[in-house]
Amino acid sequence: MANGMPYAMGVRDPVRPLRIVVADDNPVVRAGLAALLHGRHDIEVAAEAADGGEAYEAAVRHRPDVILLDVRMPGVDGMAALPHLVGLAPVMMLTYSRESEIVREALRLGAGGYLVHGEFTADELTAAVRGMREGRAAFSATAANALLAHVREQPDAPSPISAQSLSQLQPVVAQSSTAQRAVSMRNREDFRLSSREAEVMELIAAGMNNQHIAATCFISEKTVKNHINRIFAKLHATTRSEAIARWLGVSGA
């Protein structure tokens, strides 16, 4: 795994879930990510960490398949820990930090992907995490644009990522179904839901309870309940199951 090769893989048990370490100093963000990823049958959050030092200790202890790493954290921040973590597992930066210089430096130090909060859906995050274990790069729009701008401005400068990864630059890994996106957009328009209400409805349809939705969206449970009340009114539904049926188009509504 040395010499810039963090993705070397041995023989794996196909039954074993994909193990994740989540490193972020915000406990609400950690709880939201853990709730979101724990809901997937093939993913397990092995440990959470509040800074880069804890992330390293957790990675040594649990030997995860993927590490999700924030950039700015008190104590040992993500950028300081990154060179040490990439020798243990593929690392995806998952952060609010969107500066072009930070994106390029993170990838130069060995990060295998860079996602900015607010630029991906739950399904896109899950697809990106799964792809990381196979060595597939994942970038949200901000990161992709930063790297493309760097290449255009300095075409002869060394790229912080490989040519193969550069060819994959696009808003997140586009494994999410285009048809699914179209259905979701059409439903949002048909039912006149706001973007946040549509996001909450998608999480309801995914089986999340109010607590998990609150953590995933970084809002309070009271706010979730308010969104759900408005969603039910717009969908003419009185229960979760009825709302899901209408949202998924399996009722006569």
Determine phi and psi for 113, rounding to 5 degrees. -175, 165
> What's the mean per-residue pLDDT of the chain?
79
Quick check: 104 and 98 in contact, CB under 8 A? no
Q: Is the pLDDT of residue 163 over 50?
A: no
- CA distances to 124, 158, 160 from 104, rounded to whole Å, are 22, 11, 6
Distance of CA 72 to the CA centre of its chain: 17
Q: Is the pLDDT of residue 200 over 70?
A: yes
143-161 residue pLDDT tens = 887 777 766 665 555 555 5
Q: Which pLDDT value is given to residue 20?
A: 95
33-81 residue pLDDT tens = 888 887 788 999 999 999 999 999 999 999 999 999 999 999 899 999 9
Q: How buried is residue 17: exposed, middle or buried, by Cβ count under 10 Å (0-12/13-18/19+)?
A: middle
Give me the percent of the chain exceeding a pLDDT of 70: 77
Higher pLDDT, 202 or 72: 72
For strand 91-95 and strand 43-49, is the pairing parallel, antiparallel, or unpaired? unpaired
CB burial string 188-222: b at 16+ within 10 A, e below: beebebeeebbbbbbbbbbebebebbbbbbebeee
Report the range of poorest mean pLDDT among 16-25, 36-45, 163-172, 207-216: 163-172
Higher pLDDT, 19 or 153: 19
Q: Which pLDDT value is given to residue 169?
A: 43
Q: Is the pLDDT of residue 208 over 50?
A: yes
